[in-house]
Amino acid sequence: MVTAMAAIDLVVTDLDGTLWDAQPSLHPRTRRALDELAERGTPLLVATGRRVHSARSALAGVGLQPPAVMLNGAIGLDLATGDRFHRQVFAREEASVILQAFLAHNLRPCVYVEHEDVSVLVDPSPSTHPDHLASFTDESRTVELCEAIESLPIQHFAVIGIDRQPAQAVHEALRDAGSTHLYDDRQFGGSSLTVGPSGLSKWSGVAAYCDMAGLDAGRVLAIGDGPNDVELLRGAAIAVVPADGHPDAIAQADHVVPPARDGGWSELLELL
């Protein structure tokens, strides 16, 4: 990162807690800033932990259809065209190790898969928050997880909005296996744990997008608020974090802006 002003080729933004607060609704200042960014012709890329359907529907609700890096870097997709520019999945052996760590602590995770008909596999008694489970609508399929991971490309594991203790135990068990993020969940309450393939990060998806679009990855401004944004912020030329962001994100910040609920995202324009 650099603290001096730099010419920017691309703005990359996290969603929850960054572009908007806990729910997908834009502050008027943020809306005006997005409009001005488009008028300037500066490309916008989303980088989020959300799955494809969740990111697409939330962004469509505020009138946006940008390219996006989702599942913390597992997939990169242009939401307007459907063109994929990035993909990273688990090796089969690694996926098995991850699942067994969850099961050893009596947690049955949601398993995100690459498949044209279904995007989430769940156990008959999944451990995730009921509202999170309900958000899958027709995207999910109930299966025997140990069998399913042997035959499908696995993108991600997650338990959302649960008690801290078991999530912490799995997080500690997987410190040397996979890319794990444990955090307090603003949307569902409690704690959430996500696990991606080793080396996975939002930044790897951003780099892939820059390669595809002919942009300079050394001229990126990124804004994010969570521990899953650390690699993204570290890779960016200018790193911006909302004032209520996670301490690990704040530690990477070149600039701190007001929280999303106050329209702090709009202050990015002053840095371009």
Residues 191 and 212 in one domain: no
What pLDDT was estimated at residue 149? 87
Residues 110 and 140 in one domain: yes
Residues 181 and 218 in one domain: no
Q: Residue 173 belongs to a domain with what CATH number? A: 3.30.1240.10
Residues 103 and 83 in one domain: no
Distance CA 221, CA 219 (A): 7
Q: Is residue 114 part of a domain?
A: yes
Which of 136, 161, 196 corresponds to the end of one domain?
196
What pLDDT was estimated at residue 187? 82
CA distance to 84, 165, 256, per residue, from 168 (Å): 33, 5, 29
pTM for the full model? 0.88
Residues 181 and 131 in one domain: yes
Residues 187 and 115 in one domain: yes
CA 67 to chain centre: 13
Residues of the chain with pLDDT under 70: 1-6
Q: Is residue 1 part of a domain?
A: no
What pLDDT was estimated at residue 28? 97
Q: Is residue 3 part of a domain?
A: no
Query: What are the tokens at 257?
Result: 């802006």
What pLDDT was estimated at residue 6? 59
Distance CA 20, CA 260 (A): 5
Residues 207 and 229 in one domain: yes
Residue 102 domain boundaries: 92-196
Residues 211 and 81 in one domain: yes
Return the percentage of the chain with pLDDT > 90, whole number.
83
Residues 64 and 100 in one domain: no
Q: Is residue 68 part of a domain?
A: yes
Which of 138, 173, 196 corresponds to the end of one domain?
196
Residues 158 and 182 in one domain: yes
Residues 248 and 152 in one domain: no
Q: Is residue 147 part of a domain?
A: yes
Residues 216 and 148 in one domain: no
How many domains would you assign to the chain? 2
Which of 150, 167, 196 corresponds to the end of one domain?
196
If DSSP states are collapsed to H, E and C, what string results for 139-174?
HEEECCHHHHCCCCCEEEEEEEEECHHHHHHHHHHC
Q: Residue 218 belongs to a domain with what CATH number? A: 3.40.50.1000
Residue 2 one-letter amino acid = V
